[in-house]
Chain A
Amino acid sequence: MPEVPKIVHDRLRAGLPEGTGQETAHPDPNQLTAFAEQALSTAERESVLQHLTACGDCREAVALSIPPMEGDSRPIAAPEDESTVSAGAISSRATRGQRSWFAWRSLRWAALAAVIAVAGGILLIHPGNPNSVREATQQSTNTVSTPKEQIIAKQQAPAPDSALDAIRLEKKSAPAVRSFGRDKESGLAHPAPPAERALIAQAQSESRTAFKDLASGKVVGVAPSGLAPQAPSTSEMAVVPAASGPVMAAEARNDLALTGTQVSDLKTISKAKAAKTESNAPPSPQPSEDLDKQQSATDTPARRQRAVANMNAVVANSRLTAGKSDFPQPAQYPAQWAIHGNDLQRSLNSGAAWKTVLHSDRALLCYGTGGNEVWVGGKTGDLFHSANGGVTWTQVHPSAQELTLAEDITSIDVYSPSQVVLFTGDSQSWSSADGGKTWEKK
């Protein structure tokens, strides 16, 4: 953040000079509450804001009266030396000091940056033929077969560039975090100079080996293009989802096949497969379709309830450990979310495996989470809500004063299980203070 000159601090602290109309009486707790809940009229809000600008105590009261975030699981620390710092500074410093760099919000961006860096590195080391890239892109958009099948088909064709095509195909099928970085590789690719042919051939052979292992289910999370396995690091965390994209996509398709009738309805989507927790363990050689059939055959309501309870426990556990300063164990990672076209995908193991938990008829654009509360917004006002970490979903149709939300939802803020604010592409703001039952448009 930019620093402002010291004189600005001093003059802000001193308050505005007399005669500017800022010397108003303290607002009562009702007005401060209504201000914090955005329930004041414009004129009243302006009046309260004017007072707050000049009154540190009221600013303090407003800041302290904001409810904690759902995912805010900070341990309660003893206050510091209160004789030297203000009450607000204590609270604020405690908040800042206990905010971990490894919180999922930070990791999300770190993972995105690492994915972009790795993708760029791969393209720099192995620049391919633009024609083959275009073909691969076309094939990936036209073909609806599973990525596993695509890879196997590519392996059977002994063309020299097939492995590189497969890499690109695989990267196309990997989930893009919040839809960033789509199709960037096709724009960056350029023909390889003759001097690099030997390097490319070596990389192709290594890639083929890796994809054979991948297709046989032996390897999950191997970096493509001959990147050697290294000690755990943040960059490797980003490589893993890219490599496990086909496996994830295959799982997603199986999920959709299992709940196909419910997906078409989209009113309430029950995930019968919630018991199947994502993990870092390599997938068994048994085809996943067979597993799904067995699982769906043995599914009972009691088992579903247990599965939901397990899922909630995993999410809660990961949330509790997310605030600690030491690096969390893989099993305790908080849920990560990614939007891929019309699908919302979730990973419970730091991106090693992704699972489609929601499919929409139209493109999804954004999501907001707070604890087990997940809100997903999309094109033309599509809005979905899950109160149990993505296990079940409900479509919500916000309307206020005979107006229905029909604009693209571009941002969602979740403040508590009951309070959520949506922002649309044309700068509308819709807020609900009762978990989406009633809405207010601003």
Chain B
Amino acid sequence: MPGSTQSGREEDVAQSLYKRSGAATYDISAGQFAAILEEIQRKYQPGASTEQAGAFCANLRLEELALARACAGGHERAWEDFISRYRHKLHSMALHITRDGGHASELADSLFADLYGLNLRSDHCEPGADGVHVRRSKLIFYTGRGSLEGWLRTVLAQEFINRYRKQKRMVSLEEQTEEGAQFAAAEPEPVCTPDQRLESATDQALAELSSEDRYVLASYYLDGRTLAEIARTLGLHESSISRRLDRVSDGLRKRILAGLRERGMSHGQATEALETDVRDVQLDLRRRLTQDSKPQSFSIRKVSAKDAAGDGNHA
């Protein structure tokens, strides 16, 4: 009896989610939609209880999920809705990411093809019963965790990054020649190993920070993001990020200094090691050694006389 009550409650929840999603308008049955939800829930919360699973599914973007799955299934009205809602947005998103009209169109069109399932790749197609490849839309991967618009933007961003990396790998020889870089040897990296104690103290200090603090540090100092951009990513106010950066930077310096002292450095040594990085000292030893080994071709007296004559001429 309790089992039947529980299953009845589950059915009620599934029905209410189905109604909320509006999946019926795209000819998705309640059973199909329940199977979709179950698949998503298992992917992200494998061992969740019934209540947890219900709460998880209730927080999904059900309406957008139904639209995406209907599009992936080739539903005509769903595609009309999708195109009317997202076509222009997709182009403006691509423009925002690439900042170039041509690249934006290319990127957006490519994603559209992926979404429609035109790009038949080995991982995007399935052999049908009669051996014909069946197209598979990329929208099948949307799970409703965030908004569909946000998902499209993220997919575009990832595609842009992948393309950029591909382009970087495939620079033609002509382009290299134009840039004067053909066959140019890579700049020799100065091989200077910082003090191991400094490295380990820094690693320890960084590991003690929270993930969010490390993310803020990496975004600001490595990626060059603005405070506003970081704040929007984390859903915080810009001033909070500014204060956090101040606090984390100060704390980090103190922790590294303390770590260095623990590793046997005096306060002065620790401060010096932190402030003066050996890699900042630009020494061209080869040139210096070459200059030092040159034979003296004339005497200092001659140089002085020549300099004096030169000065006289200039005057």
A and B bind:
yes
Interface, chain A (partner B; CB < 8 A): 1-13, 16-17, 20, 28-40, 44, 46, 49-50, 52-53, 56-57, 59-69, 76-79, 82-83, 87-96, 411, 413, 415, 421, 423, 429, 431, 433
17 A-B pairs whose Cβ atoms sit less than 8 Å apart in the complex? A1-B242, A1-B245, A2-B246, A29-B158, A30-B142, A39-B145, A46-B211, A53-B218, A59-B218, A61-B157, A62-B157, A63-B219, A67-B93, A68-B96, A78-B100, A88-B223, A89-B223
Which residue from B144, B146, B202 sits with its C-beta under 8 Å from A36? B146
Closest B residue to A434 using CB positions: B147
Give the number of chain B interface residues (Cβ < 8 Å): 75
Q: What 1/0 mask marks residues of chain B from 269 to 308 whose CB sits below 8 Å from any chain A CB?
A: 0000011010110000000000000000000000000000
Decide: A30 near B233, CB < 8 A? Known: A57-B161, A87-B164.
Answer: no
Closest A residue to B92 using CB positions: A68
Decide: A65 near B250, CB < 8 A? Known: A9-B222, A34-B145.
Answer: no
Please tell me if the beta carbons of B145 and A4 are within 8 angstroms of each other in the complex. Answer: no
Q: What 1/0 mask marks residues of chain B from 207 to 227 whose CB sits below 8 Å from any chain A CB?
A: 100011011011111111111
Please tell me if the beta carbons of A7 and B222 are within 8 angstroms of each other in the complex. Answer: no
Interface, chain B (partner A; CB < 8 A): 44, 59, 93, 95-101, 141-147, 149-151, 153-158, 160-161, 164, 167-168, 171, 179, 194, 198-199, 202-203, 206-207, 211-212, 214-215, 217-229, 231-233, 235, 237, 242, 245-246, 249-250, 252-253, 256, 274-275, 277, 279-280
- 5 shortest A-B CB distances, which residue pairs? A33-B146, A64-B157, A49-B211, A34-B145, A33-B150
Please tell me if the beta carbons of B157 and A76 are within 8 angstroms of each other in the complex. Answer: no
Please tell me if the beta carbons of B145 and A31 are within 8 angstroms of each other in the complex. Answer: yes
Report the minimum CB–CB distance from A182 to chain B (whole Å).
21
Alpha-carbon distance A363/B245, docked complex (angstroms): 33
Decide: A4 near B252, CB < 8 A? Known: A31-B145, A64-B160.
Answer: yes
Which residue from A2, A33, A56 sits with its C-beta under 8 Å from B249? A2
Chain B positions within 8 Å of A63 at CB level: 219, 223, 225, 229, 233
Which residue from A8, A40, A65, A76 sits with its C-beta under 8 Å from B202? A8
Chain A positions within 8 Å of B227 at CB level: 1
Please tell me if the beta carbons of B224 and A29 are within 8 angstroms of each other in the complex. Answer: no
Please tell me if the beta carbons of B147 and A37 are within 8 angstroms of each other in the complex. Answer: yes
Alpha-carbon distance A140/B156, docked complex (angstroms): 58
Chain B positions within 8 Å of A64 at CB level: 97, 153, 156-157, 160-161
Alpha-carbon distance A8/B211, docked complex (angstroms): 15
